[in-house]
Amino acid sequence: MSAPSGSRLRLLLIGGGGGFVGRAVLSTLGSDFRIRSLHRHPTPNEGPEVEWIPEDLTAVQDWAPLLDEVDVVLNLAWYRWASESAFRSLHDGLRRLLEAAVRSGVRRFLQVSVPPAPASLEQDLPYLRYKRRFDVAVAGSGLSYRIVRPTMLFGPGDVLLSEMVRLMRRYPLFPMFGDGGYHVSPIAVSDLARVLRREAHGGDSGRLDLGGPERLTYRALTDRMFWVLGKRPRYWTTSASGARRLTRWLTALGSTLLYPYEVEWLMSDLLGLPAYEGIDPPLVKVGPYLEQLAAGRLVPNPRGLWPNL
């Protein structure tokens, strides 16, 4: 997909390129595009093809200079946990970006969103309410667009799976929410980046729900974590209401591992999305990554279930 030798690469604007997903995207799309990335802090993945703009998306009032010559816009920016006013401010900043992209004649707009959630969360949670409003705005903008909605992400720098393995290594019991029979289909962040690369060159519009190559029950995933550590699975089982109380208590103490709404989402059985097909090489399975974590070859970096989304 790279540009022919001697031709000038097209320009890709990324919002939120400094996070977990952004770092993978910078590494993967740098051979195909010149990249202009807005994020607050520098990252190790900023090669010569990356123009870093140290800017907060909520603060940009005039996007026209930043969209000069831009062919594709990719938005990765969102918060996991914030006040309603913070979500509103980010939504409004992204709407200004979208409206400016329409005026500037940008060819394509990619929005990384999140999978379906229980109706109560979709209606009442500011995290989702404002994200869905922006998704709808993208779809109605008149631009060629794709709204990519990946399920649980894993890869170097994630916090969820790496922190779960750390806790299993350290403590004799691990909390199990309900019976663990709800499903997940983890997808590697490197595979999400490959899909975004493909979509940046594409022309089809619409929503793309994105799962990994294996659909597992949550219990099967956690059992596998125990086994790669050489330990027998041992759980402390709690009900859905008990799980929400536990995560509220942990959040009040400053933990960012799992928020109460994420537990409800996890137990809703809406996260076992079908695997993305038609990409070569095939999607990466989660097992080898868990083995690397168990061997201590990867260092966690606190982000979250959908880091940076």
| Residue 306 predicted with pLDDT over 60 | no
Instruction: Let me know whether 60 and 30 are in one domain.
Output: yes
What secondary structure letter does DSSP report for 11?
E
b/e burial code for range 206-242 (CB count within 10 A of at least 16 → b): eebbbbbbbbbbbbebbbbbbebbeeebeeeebeeee
Whole-angstrom distance, CA of residue 95 vs CA of residue 38: 15
Instruction: Let me know whether 107 and 237 are in one domain.
Output: no
Whole-angstrom distance, CA of residue 201 vs CA of residue 139: 18
Does a structural domain hold residue 159? yes
Last residue of a domain, which of 164, 195, 210?
A: 210
Residue 301 or residue 248, greater confidence: 248
Instruction: Let me know whether 124 and 176 are in one domain.
Output: no
Does a structural domain hold residue 302? no
Instruction: Let me know whether 229 and 119 are in one domain.
Output: no
Q: Reduced to 3 states, what is the DSSP secondary structure of residue 170?
A: helix
Instruction: Let me know whether 32 and 171 are in one domain.
Output: no
Does a structural domain hold residue 308? no
* Domain assignment of residue 271, given as a range: 155-185+214-294
Q: Reduced to 3 states, what is the DSSP secondary structure of residue 289?
A: helix
Instruction: Let me know whether 97 and 161 are in one domain.
Output: no
| pLDDT tens digits, 152-201 | 999 998 879 999 999 999 999 999 999 999 999 999 999 999 999 999 99
Instruction: Let me know whether 23 and 66 are in one domain.
Output: yes
For residue 46, what pLDDT is reported?
64
Whole-angstrom distance, CA of residue 173 vs CA of residue 236: 6
Does a structural domain hold residue 301? no
Arithmetic mean of pLDDT, 136-149: 98
Beta bridge partners of 15: 38, 75
Instruction: Let me know whether 118 and 181 are in one domain.
Output: no
Whole-angstrom distance, CA of residue 154 vs CA of residue 187: 6
Residue 129 or residue 27, greater confidence: 129
| pLDDT tens digits, 199-212 | 999 999 999 999 99
Does a structural domain hold residue 202? yes
Does a structural domain hold residue 305? no
Instruction: Let me know whether 172 and 129 are in one domain.
Output: no
Residue 46 or residue 14, greater confidence: 14
Instruction: Let me know whether 59 and 194 are in one domain.
Output: yes
Instruction: Let me know whether 240 and 136 are in one domain.
Output: no
Q: Which residue from 201, 43, 198, 194 is spatially nearest to 107, judged by alpha carbons? A: 201
Does a structural domain hold residue 64? yes
What secondary structure letter does DSSP report for 275?
B
Whole-angstrom distance, CA of residue 278 vs CA of residue 270: 23
Does a structural domain hold residue 218? yes
**Average pLDDT across the chain, whole number:** 90
> Band of the pLDDT at 55, cuts 50, 70, 90?
confident
> Band of the pLDDT at 9, cuts 50, 70, 90?
confident
Q: 109 exposed, middle or buried (CB, 10 Å; 0-12, 13-18, 19+)?
A: buried
CATH number at 85 reads 3.40.50.720
For residue 303, what pLDDT is reported?
40
Domain count, the chain: 2
CATH number at 260 reads 3.90.25
Whole-angstrom distance, CA of residue 27 vs CA of residue 32: 10
Instruction: Let me know whether 159 and 140 are in one domain.
Output: no
